[in-house]
Structure 1
């Protein structure tokens, strides 16, 4: 079985984003970028399935600027076999990403698509579900455990009430949650090997997909600063202040 793993280049999770002075978006100048953490988990799960003999090939896919090749090389160093970059300088919305992935799926014919449940830059949590709808495939979202059994996949997913296990008939879509696994670090030899692994570059026009944005960002602002707390002498003073705030009855 072939596994397709979409990955996204985002601001590193250790970096605090800065809003542009004109409020048009997030400042990406001289900011460290890395693979979306949820997508790292997806790559790791695909590798583990291959190590178990459940998969024969792992194809990493990214949609974005030319520098997204670095993100794909990271996936290749972790253990993916080859990569595809759909290069565009435009910001592609989840629907556009899902449409492009649907075209790539039609060409590659994978048995499983594993991707992060959301990207930490926009937190949309839409691409996997949209892709499943476009393909008419079964989907298992927020996966905390994935088990392949022949032509079916058992996905344990996190829901409000606890855990739910769904049985999917392949081909299927799986979106990964944080507790699925712990991604491995790419070793130096594998990083060197990744440089020689195939990486194809294409454009949205090659797939006949219009990725023009449907949404317009009106303004981006910093979250409000937290105000300083105050010290109180005793419980009576605490209750009095809570009554003023309307918290205590």
Structure 2
């Protein structure tokens, strides 16, 4: 069984994002970038399925700029077998939209014929949470989103999902799209020997044009602004005064 894991290069979650002076977007110049945390969880789960003897190969795929090679090397160091980079943009500020990403991934799946696409549920930069669902629709495959546990039994995957009311366990027929939630696992750190080995693993490079996909944006950013500064708090002398203040503010 082959598993494909799409991964995205995003601004590191420890970095405080800053808006460009012209308000056209987030400034990514000289900013630390890393693998999207949910994608990192997906890579870990795919590797665990391989270690359990369920999968035979894990292929990491990234779509975007050439610098995403570094992110793919991280996935290879974690334990992915090979990687595919689809260059779809020259500028790091260009974000490939979910539908274009899904179309590219469909073309990759048509070539690779995986049984599972294990993806992060969303990217932390745009939070769209759409690519996995769009890919399932384009391929006509089953889907299991927000996975907190994954087991493969024969031709089916048993997936426990995190839903508003608690947990839901479903069985989906393979091939399937599974998107990872936060509590699926704890990703491993890449060891130095594995980082060195990753440099020798195969990393193929394609373009969106090679796969016949138009990545022209359908959305445009009108403006981007910093969140409003939080107002200072107020100290009150008693519970009665607190309740009165809250009533005055319309909070109760």
Counterpart of 1:212 in structure 2 is 216
Quote the RMSD (CA, aligned, Å).
0.7
Deviation (angstroms), 1:11 = 0.4
Deviation (angstroms), 1:239 = 2.0
The answer as to 2:66 corresponding to 1:62 is no
Deviation (angstroms), 1:79 = 0.2
Structure 1 Cα separation of the partners of residues 2 and 109 of structure 2: 11
Counterpart of 1:187 in structure 2 is 191
Output one character per residue of 1:91-148: Cα deviation in whole Å (capped at 9) or x when no partner: 2100000000000000000010000000000000000000000000000000000000
Runs (4+) of structure 1 exceeding 6 A deviation are none
SS at match of 1:205: coil
TM-score by length of 1: 0.98
Unaligned 5+ residue runs, structure 1? none
- Pairing partner for 2:202 from 178, 189, 198: 198
Structure 2 Cα separation of the partners of residues 170 and 246 of structure 1: 52
Structure 2 Cα separation of the partners of residues 44 and 239 of structure 1: 49
- Counting only pairs closer than 5 Å after superposition, residues 41-56 of structure 1 correspond to structure 2 as 41-56=41-56
Output one character per residue of 1:57-81: Cα deviation in whole Å (capped at 9) or x when no partner: 0000000111100000000000000
Preserved contact between residue 97 and residue 215 of structure 2 (Cα < 8 Å): yes
Structure 1 Cα separation of the partners of residues 180 and 115 of structure 2: 16
Deviation (angstroms), 1:151 = 1.1
The answer as to 2:7 corresponding to 1:3 is no
The answer as to 2:84 corresponding to 1:84 is yes
The answer as to 2:244 corresponding to 1:221 is no
Preserved contact between residue 88 and residue 215 of structure 2 (Cα < 8 Å): no
SS at match of 2:179: strand
SS at match of 2:210: helix
Counterpart of 1:175 in structure 2 is 179
Preserved contact between residue 121 and residue 145 of structure 2 (Cα < 8 Å): yes
- Pairing partner for 1:245 from 238, 246, 249: 249
The answer as to 2:45 corresponding to 1:39 is no
Output one character per residue of 1:140-174: Cα deviation in whole Å (capped at 9) or x when no partner: 00000000011110010011111111101110000
The answer as to 2:125 corresponding to 1:125 is no
Preserved contact between residue 41 and residue 187 of structure 2 (Cα < 8 Å): yes
Structure 2 Cα separation of the partners of residues 243 and 48 of structure 1: 54
Counterpart of 2:167 in structure 1 is 163
Aligned length: 248
The answer as to 2:158 corresponding to 1:154 is yes
- Pairing partner for 1:232 from 211, 232, 236: 236
Unaligned 5+ residue runs, structure 2? none
